C-alpha cells in the first residue's frame, strides 16, 4: 500500500470513529420525512429534476420499476389481458363530458396550447402556433380510451375488452415528494369493458386481488384490501377498491386502486353494444392501476437507518460478490473464484427467473464498497478474501440483519440455499412489517380516544402519532360536513372499509348511529 493510500485509510478510519452510528442522517426517529429523502439519495434511486415536480429515476431505482413491471405484466397476461397504447394528449372536450371527472382533475392538468417555438427577445424562444383546441397531458386515460372502445364495440361478441397500458401520466401537484407524489409518474392503467355489471365487478375484484398478491408475495408489504368511502373514491367511479399499507411512521399509503366504473364512462364515451337479446345497452367498465409510488411504499416499509432494504424478490441484484485482496496475484485468483460462484448462482432458478448477481470488482476501498451496497439495499452481500477462498467458502451478510452479522458459509451450501435464504428474508420483512402494523392499529369506540390517537405527543415531531384506527362509521348527510371538518383538523382521512370485516353492530364514532360498517382511519401520504 502506498503512503498516500495508507494516509487515506487512516483518515477514513478516523472519520468512521467520528461518524454517526448509522449511514443515513437523520435517522427515522429524528426526522422521518427527511430520512426518506436521504435514503433515496444514498441508495441512488432518484433525484429532483429541473422540471417542476418531476424526478429523474436513476438506474437503481428504474431497475426496481422494471422488475415490478415484469412481474405484473406477466400476471396481467395470465389473467387474460393484452397491452396497447393510447395518445398522451387528450382533447379538452373529452374531459368536458364527465362532470365528476373534471372536478377531480381540472385543477392539476398540464395544458398544451401551442405547437412550435419562435425566436423571442434576447435569444429566448416563445410559444407560437396556437392550437384551435388545447390538449391536456393525460392524468389518467378513461376518456381517450373510452373513445376507442366506443368504436370497437358493436355487439356483445366484441366484449369483454381486457386492455392494459404502461404509460407516463401527469398531475400538476403543488407539493411533490419523490416516488410518492410527482407531477409526472409512471404507471400501468388497466381499462376493461364488459357486457354485464357482474362481470365488471368480478374483474374489479380480481385485479384488486392481483395487487394484494403482488404487495404480499413480491414487495413483502402487508396491505389491507378495502373499499373507499364515497368521499375518497375515484372521480367518476361507482366503487373504488384499494390496497392500503402502513408505513413505518404509522401513516397510510394507498398503494393501488381498482375501480368499478359502472356505466358512467360508457355513457359519456358512448360505449354501446347490441346484447344477445338484440337490445342496445351501455357497457360496464373498470379501471385499475399502480404506479412508481409503489417504490416509495417499498422504501418506507422496509428500510432502516443504514439505507434501503430491497425486498429480495424485486431487488435489481439479489447478491453482490465483493472480492477482497491485497495484491495482484490474489486479485486474479479471487476474481476467478468469484466468477465461478457468480455463474453457479446465475444457474439457480428463483421466482420464475434466475438469481441476479453483481460482481463488484471496482478498485475502491472494501469498506466504502460494502457501505454502498448496504445503502443500496442489496439483499445478500458475500465477501471473498484469500482465506475464504482457501476454505471454499464465503463470508455472507443479509441486509435485513444487523450490519455486523456475517457468517462463513461453504460455497456449495451458499449456492444450494440461496433461494431459501431470499425466501427467509422475504418472510422476515413481511412479518416485521405486519407486526408493526398490528402494533400500531387500534380499534376505537370513543371519539376522544380517536382524537388522542391521532394527536402528536411531541409538537416538534408532528409526524409521530398513533397509526391506524378502526372505527364504526355511519355518516348521514347532515353530519357529513362536520365529520369532514373534524377529520381535516386532525389531518386524518378515511382510508377504506376493510373487505370481509364482519363486525357486530356498533355505534358510529361520529353520529352514534348503529352500523356494522367500520372504516380504517389514518394520516396518509
DSSP conformation letters of 227-252: E--GGGS-TT-SEEEEEEEE-TTS-E
5 prior amide bond cis, ω within 30: no
Per DSSP, 319 falls in state: E
State in angstroms the smallest separation of the CB of 42 from its own copies.
15
How far is Cα 394 from Cα 382, in angstroms, rounded to an integer? 6
State in angstroms the smallest separation of the CB of 329 from its own copies.
25
State in angstroms the smallest separation of the CB of 107 from its own copies.
5
CB nearer its own copies, residue 117 or residue 439: 117
CB nearer its own copies, residue 66 or residue 413: 66
State in angstroms the smallest separation of the CB of 221 from its own copies.
22
How far is Cα 97 from Cα 105, in angstroms, rounded to an integer? 13
Phi first, then psi, for residue 14 (nearest 5°) are: -65, -40
Q: What is the 3-state secondary structure (H, E, C) of 470-481?
A: EEECCCCHHHHH
Burial status of residue 515 (CB atoms within 10 A of its CB: 0-12, 13-18, 19 or more) = middle
CB nearer its own copies, residue 69 or residue 332: 69
How far is Cα 356 from Cα 349, in angstroms, rounded to an integer? 10
State in angstroms the smallest separation of the CB of 66 from its own copies.
6
State in angstroms the smallest separation of the CB of 123 from its own copies.
6
Residues ≥6 apart with Cβ < 8 Å to 327:
none
Give the interface with its own copies as residue ranges (CB under 8 A): 47, 49-51, 54-59, 62-63, 65-66, 82-96, 102, 106-118, 123-125, 127, 129, 134-137, 144, 147-148, 151, 163, 167-168, 170, 172, 184, 186
State in angstroms the smallest separation of the CB of 72 from its own copies.
14
CB nearer its own copies, residue 111 or residue 439: 111
Grid coordinates in use for 14? 478516523
State in angstroms the smallest separation of the CB of 182 from its own copies.
9
CB nearer its own copies, residue 54 or residue 479: 54
The three-class DSSP label of residue 521 is strand
The three-class DSSP label of residue 349 is strand
How far is Cα 409 from Cα 381, in angstroms, rounded to an integer? 12
- 469's enclosing H/E stretch is strand 468-472
CB nearer its own copies, residue 55 or residue 508: 55
CB nearer its own copies, residue 317 or residue 495: 317
How far is Cα 341 from Cα 113, in angstroms, rounded to an integer? 57
Per the rule left: phi > 0, alpha: psi between -120 and 50, beta: everything else, 25 is beta
The three-class DSSP label of residue 161 is strand
Residues ≥6 apart with Cβ < 8 Å to 348:
354, 355, 415, 418, 419
State in angstroms the smallest separation of the CB of 369 from its own copies.
14
Amino acid at each position: 500500500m502506498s503512503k498516500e493510500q495508507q494516509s487515506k485509510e487512516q483518515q477514513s478510519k478516523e472519520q468512521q470513529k467520528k461518524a454517526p452510528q448509522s449511514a443515513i442522517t437523520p435517522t427515522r426517529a429524528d426526522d422521518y420525512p427527511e430520512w426518506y429523502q436521504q435514503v433515496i439519495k444514498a441508495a441512488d434511486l432518484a433525484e429532483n429534476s429541473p422540471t417542476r415536480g418531476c424526478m429523474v429515476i436513476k438506474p437503481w431505482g428504474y431497475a426496481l420499476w422494471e422488475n415490478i413491471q415484469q412481474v405484473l405484466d406477466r400476471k396481467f397476461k395470465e389473467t387474460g389481458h393484452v397491452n396497447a397504447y393510447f395518445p398522451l394528449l387528450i382533447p379538452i372536450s373529452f374531459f368536458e363530458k364527465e362532470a365528476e371527472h373534471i372536478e377531480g382533475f381540472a385543477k392539476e392538468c398540464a395544458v398544451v396550447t401551442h405547437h412550435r417555438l419562435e425566436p423571442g427577445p434576447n435569444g429566448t424562444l416563445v410559444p407560437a402556433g396556437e392550437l384551435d383546441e388545447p390538449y391536456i397531458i393525460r392524468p389518467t386515460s378513461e376518456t381517450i380510451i373510452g373513445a376507442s372502445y366506443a368504436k370497437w364495440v358493436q355487439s356483445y361478441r366484441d366484449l369483454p375488452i381486457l386492455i392494459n397500458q404502461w404509460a407516463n401520466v401527469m398531475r400538476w401537484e403543488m407539493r411533490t415528494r419523490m416516488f410518492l407524489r410527482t407531477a409526472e409518474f409512471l404507471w400501468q392503467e388497466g381499462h376493461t369493458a364488459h357486457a354485464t355489471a357482474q362481470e365488471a365487478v368480478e374483474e374489479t375484484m380480481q385485479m384488486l386481488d392481483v395487487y394484494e398478491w403482488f404487495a404480499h408475495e413480491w414487495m413483502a408489504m402487508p396491505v389491507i384490501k378495502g373499499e373507499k368511502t364515497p368521499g375518497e373514491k375515484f372521480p367518476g367511479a361507482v366503487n373504488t377498491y384499494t390496497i392500503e399499507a402502513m408505513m413505518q411512521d404509522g401513516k397510510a399509503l394507498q398503494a393501488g386502486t381498482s375501480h368499478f366504473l359502472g356505466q358512467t364512462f360508457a355513457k359519456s364515451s358512448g360505449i354501446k353494444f347490441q346484447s344477445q337479446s338484440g337490445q342496445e345497452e351501455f357497457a360496464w367498465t373498470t379501471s385499475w392501476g399502480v404506479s412508481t409510488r409503489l417504490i416509495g411504499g417499498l422504501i418506507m416499509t422496509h428500510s432502516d437507518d443504514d439505507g434501503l432494504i430491497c425486498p429480495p424478490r424485486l431487488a435489481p441484484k439479489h447478491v453482490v460478490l465483493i472480492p477482497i485482496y491485497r495484491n495482484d496475484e490474489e486479485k486474479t485468483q479471487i476474481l476467478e473464484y468469484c466468477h465461478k460462484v457468480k455463474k453457479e448462482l446465475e444457474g439457480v432458478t428463483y421466482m420464475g427467473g434466475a438469481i441476479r448477481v453483481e460482481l463488484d470488482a471496482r478498485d475502491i476501498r472494501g469498506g466504502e464498497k460494502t457501505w454502498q451496497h448496504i445503502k443500496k439495499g442489496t439483499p445478500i452481500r458475500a465477501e471473498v478474501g484469500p482465506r475464504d477462498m482457501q476454505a471454499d467458502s464465503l463470508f455472507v451478510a443479509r441486509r435485513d440483519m444487523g450490519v455486523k452479522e456475517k457468517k462463513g458459509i461453504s460455497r456449495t451450501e451458499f449456492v444450494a440455499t440461496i433461494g431459501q435464504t431470499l425466501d427467509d428474508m422475504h418472510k422476515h420483512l413481511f412479518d416485521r412489517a405486519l407486526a408493526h402494523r398490528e402494533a400500531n392499529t387500534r380499534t376505537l369506540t370513543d371519539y376522544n380516544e380517536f382524537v388522542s390517537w391521532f394527536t402528536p405527543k411531541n409538537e416538534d415531531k408532528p409526524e409521530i402519532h398513533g397509526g391506524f384506527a378502526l372505527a364504526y362509521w355511519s355518516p348521514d348527510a347532515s353530519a357529513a360536513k362536520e365529520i369532514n371538518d373534524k377529520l381535516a383538523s386532525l389531518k386524518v382521512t378515511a382510508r377504506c372499509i376493510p373487505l370481509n370485516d364482519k363486525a357486530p353492530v356498533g355505534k358510529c364514532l361520529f353520529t352514534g348511529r348503529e352500523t356494522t360498517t367500520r372504516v380504517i382511519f389514518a394520516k396518509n401520504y
